[in-house]
Amino acid sequence: MHYKEFAPAGFLKNHVQCYFTCETDTAVFAEDTVFASGCIEMMFNVGADGPH
């Protein structure tokens, strides 16, 4: 698995903590555990089985 994190630029710094990508060469099922932090988290699957 390859994880890479990016910091937002410009005016987004005040509104976005970070962006990240997570890539794998194998088909995996992943659950994203969410803890009450007061932040919104969004995830998009753009793999072969994802939306086109």
| pLDDT tens, N- to C-terminus, the chain (52 residues) | 788 999 999 999 999 989 988 887 777 666 767 677 787 878 777 766 644 4
- At residue 23, the pLDDT reads 81
49 in a structural domain: no
Which residues does 3 contact at the CB level (< 8 Å), separation at least 6? 20, 21, 22
- At residue 1, the pLDDT reads 78
Q: How many domains does the chain have?
A: 1
Give SS3 for 40. coil
2 in a structural domain: yes
- At residue 35, the pLDDT reads 75
Specify the pTM.
Answer: 0.55
- At residue 45, the pLDDT reads 75
50 in a structural domain: no
Residue 24 structural domain: 1-38
43 in a structural domain: no
**Rounded Cα distance, 30 and 22, in Å:** 11
16 in a structural domain: yes
